[in-house]
Amino acid sequence: MKTGGCDFFQWVDGDSEGTDSTVKEEGYTIIEIMLENKMLLTKNMRLRLENNELNIDEMRRMRSRVTRMEEKIKLYKDKMSRDNKRLA
């Protein structure tokens, strides 16, 4: 069965030059592509974990800033309350 210059059975069985029946895509075998895919998935998982750690660190810094700001607001309110009592 020949379609558009490609013999399907020759493509599946490999050519007569002794190549195996492994399908090649731009010089890479399926096994190589699967291995690269697995490595990329592993790297992606590591990057997600690293990103989560960075997000946790950022949340801790923000929580610390919010706590400091709340303390400053409380001190300011206490000072304003004392000043208002003194003026009254």
Q: How far apart are CA 41 and CA 47, in angstroms?
A: 10
Mean pLDDT of 59-76: 96
* Overall pTM > 0.85: no
What confidence score (pLDDT) does residue 59 get?
96
Which of 39, 61, 59, 40 lies closest to 51 in space, CA to CA? Answer: 59
What confidence score (pLDDT) does residue 28 get?
76
Q: What is the phi/psi pair of residue 10, to 5°?
A: -65, -40
* Helical spans, DSSP H, in the chain: 8-13, 30-87
- pLDDT (tens digit per residue) in 13-33: 655 454 554 555 567 789 999
What confidence score (pLDDT) does residue 29 get?
87
Q: What is the phi/psi pair of residue 2, to 5°?
A: -115, 125
Q: CA distances (Å), 69 to each of 38, 73, 82, in order?
A: 46, 6, 20
Longest CA–CA separation in the chain, Å: 104
What's the DSSP call for residue 18? S
- pLDDT (tens digit per residue) in 35-52: 999 999 999 999 999 999
